[in-house]
Amino acid sequence: MKGETGIKRSHGPARRGAPSLRIPRGPVATSLLLLALVLAPYGGLVTASPPAMKPQQEKKKDDKERQKKRKTELSEVYKKWLEEDVRWIITEEERAAFLKLETDEEREQFIEQFWLRRDPNPDTEENEYREEHYRRIAYANERFSSGIPGWKTDRGRIYIMFGPPDSIESHPAGGTYDRPIWEGGGTTSTYPFEVWFYRYIEGVGSGIEIEFVDPTMTGEYRIARSPDEKDALLFVPGAGLTLAEQLGLASKADRPFFSPGNRERYPLMHQRVQDQPFERLQLLANLQRPPRVKFNDLATLADAKLEVEFDVLPFQMRVDFARITDSSILTLITVLMENQDLSFKNTGGYNEATVNIHGRIRPVTGRRPQIFEDVVTQRYTDDVFDQGVKQKSIYQKQITLPPGHYVIDLVIRDVNSGRTGVVHHGIQVPKYAEGQLSTSSLILAERIEPLQGRVAAGPFVLGNLKVRPNVNAIFRRGDPVGLYLQIYNPGIDQTTLRPAVDIEYILLRDGREVMRLKEDGQNGLTRFMTQQIVLARVLSTETLAPGTYTVKVRITDHVAQKTIEPTATFTITAREEK
């Protein structure tokens, strides 16, 4: 057809199954062809579906590259946290766990838990441990920098890990130095050095001395492995002699620094125990370890929802409450263990059993838990061990909580045997109504005694009394039964300005009354005060037959015309059964 203006497929057999193009000719055709070539870059000639998807695929690829790049940038933040912020305090186990995390969300959760485990007071908004840690880093960078950041130096590391020392002996210019006798005596000249003294470092020991020396005179102090490292005249013949060298009893080559085998034979050098080579190496090794997070394995067991399925360490627990204010309740957690269930190990002439305790108190509302950890040790000499193993070990933790519902996760492990016990126990901390007659828990005690001038602090201390609860409420016949109770908001007689209450102790067995006593406040332990009455009474069991008893404290308020009767149950056994 003459004058064709389009592109047509050829129907000829030039190549079977393949379309061919026939290029039209003429001015109009040429103009159309040029227009098509101009529009080609804008997709005017593209009609197949795969090329149409190309921009969308490229967009997805660009998004992935941007996400990958963003993840790399965030990884630098986490790397800095791992290698700088917590380098000296993170444990090897925590470091390995952090490096295995795959997402930023997991890392954020890890970091949150990392600081939470170290928080000394989880109930406050601030994490005091974290705040103190970053304060130490800032202080180290300000005071110990010497061409490298202060946190990287030996002094910075020790300061960040263990805090400020109790005392510092500083020689910033070095110079003349009179050696103490345990360093050999005599006079020498030293490089700048410091001696840091810590009374106690947990996991390291007591009476810790750490010596830092600056042998390069650049301000970079390094931990000394030997007292001789600070001696600037150590390698100068005939200078800086010790007392023995001055007296001709030894030469410089005989010093233990040059001849370690002479340590015991070097004259007039009475080294202390901490200066012995192995003791010093052990100290340096201990100082390399990050501060210990107590009982990590026990914390893991506290998370377990099932009972422990290995050797179980039996123990008993009771929880009591006493009011401090309407919103602060003293919670007493008391644990009882039989010594015969513990494993004793003879160490240095003593038979010793050690128990690690990890506890966590979780509010059911999801707020931060309170965590406590302690070590209980029982020690007996050989001559009393047979009697001691028949006794009991008792532990108490006092914690202040607001009213509400909580779960106590308690894990106890015998260090020598590895036997472990776990308890998950729900409690309700009572809410005391303002101005209303109420009481604390009625505590059955195996012992109540006045402090008599001793410091009113520590376990079992309530006010001016030491009250040791009987956790299992089992008494031998003849042993006194102690009763402790606090009464709040008693009515006041306006004539005498004293509480207008009557208090009676009623002892029942099988529902029948077997004893009744009236409180007169004259036993020396009970105290009557305006807003509170403290009852501390001891009941004799000499005339009571073995069996189960209920004690009822009847409190009648004549002003409020109200009576309350807190009760408790206990068992009396024959003396030979205990």
DSSP string, 367-389: PPPEEEEEEEEEEEEGGGHHHHT
Mean pLDDT check: name the lowest of 179-183, 274-278, 486-490, 509-513: 274-278
User: Whose CA is closest to 162, among 282, 289, 285?
Assistant: 289
Residue 51's pLDDT band (cuts 50, 70, 90): very low
The answer, yes or no, to whether residue 375 has pLDDT greater than 60, is yes
Confirm if 361 and 370 have CB atoms less than 8 A apart. yes
Residues 6+ apart with CB under 8 A from 311: 417, 418, 419, 420
Residue 203's pLDDT band (cuts 50, 70, 90): confident
The answer, yes or no, to whether residue 38 has pLDDT greater than 60, is no
CATH topology of domain 314-432: Immunoglobulin-like (2.60.40)
Mean pLDDT check: name the lowest of 55-59, 280-284, 292-296: 55-59
User: What's the average model confidence in pLDDT over 27-39?
Assistant: 43
Task: Give the CA count within 13 Å in the CB-facing half-sphere of 147.
Answer: 6
Confirm if 322 and 329 have CB atoms less than 8 A apart. yes
Q: 266 or 195: whose pLDDT is higher?
A: 195
The answer, yes or no, to whether residue 310 has pLDDT greater than 60, is no
Residue 121's pLDDT band (cuts 50, 70, 90): confident
User: Whose CA is closest to 470, among 536, 391, 394?
Assistant: 394
Residues 6+ apart with CB under 8 A from 135: none
Residues 6+ apart with CB under 8 A from 330: 321, 322, 323, 324, 398, 399, 400
Amino acid in position 140: A
pLDDT of 303:
63
Residue 299's pLDDT band (cuts 50, 70, 90): low
Residue 232's pLDDT band (cuts 50, 70, 90): very high
Structure tokens at 571: 């068992």
Structure tokens at 439: 């009481």
The answer, yes or no, to whether residue 297 has pLDDT greater than 70, is no
pLDDT of 571:
95
Amino acid in position 359: G
The answer, yes or no, to whether residue 48 has pLDDT greater than 80, is no
CA 264 to the chain's CA centroid: 42
Residue 63's pLDDT band (cuts 50, 70, 90): low
CATH superfamily placement of domain 433-578: Immunoglobulins (2.60.40.10)
* Sign for the pseudo-dihedral over CA of 321, 466, 462, 481: positive
Confirm if 122 and 116 have CB atoms less than 8 A apart. yes
pLDDT digits (tens, 9 = 90+) for 335-352: 999 999 999 998 878 999
pLDDT digits (tens, 9 = 90+) for 504-515: 999 999 999 999
User: Whose CA is closest to 204, among 302, 286, 93?
Assistant: 286
Question: In which element (H, E) is residue 117 found?
Answer: helix 104-118
pLDDT digits (tens, 9 = 90+) for 535-572: 999 999 999 999 999 999 999 999 989 999 999 999 99
Confirm if 494 and 561 have CB atoms less than 8 A apart. no
Residues 6+ apart with CB under 8 A from 151: 84, 87, 88, 137, 140, 141, 144, 157, 160
Q: What CA–CA distance (Å, rounded) separates 231 from 215?
A: 9
Confirm if 491 and 558 have CB atoms less than 8 A apart. yes
pLDDT of 418:
87
Beta bridge partners of 324: none
Q: 378 or 24: whose pLDDT is higher?
A: 378
For 339-350, b where at least 16 C-beta lie within 10 A, e where not — what string? bebbebeeeeee
The answer, yes or no, to whether residue 403 has pLDDT greater than 50, is yes
Residue 298's pLDDT band (cuts 50, 70, 90): low
DSSP string, 269-297: ----GGGSHHHHHHHHHHHHSPPP-TTHH
User: What's the average model confidence in pLDDT over 325-331?
Assistant: 90
User: What's the average model confidence in pLDDT over 241-254?
Assistant: 87
Confirm if 531 and 488 have CB atoms less than 8 A apart. yes
User: What's the average model confidence in pLDDT over 3-16?
Assistant: 40
Mean pLDDT estimate for the chain:
82
The answer, yes or no, to whether residue 88 has pLDDT greater than 80, is yes
The answer, yes or no, to whether residue 81 has pLDDT greater than 80, is yes
Angle (deg, nearest 10), helices 128-143 and 154-162: 160
Residue ranges per structural domain of the chain: 8-42, 52-118, 165-288, 314-432, 433-578
pLDDT digits (tens, 9 = 90+) for 420-449: 998 888 999 999 988 899 999 999 999 999
Q: What CA–CA distance (Å, rounded) separates 357 from 20?
A: 89
The yes-or-no answer to whether 314-432 and 433-578 have a common fold is: yes
The answer, yes or no, to whether residue 31 has pLDDT greater than 60, is no
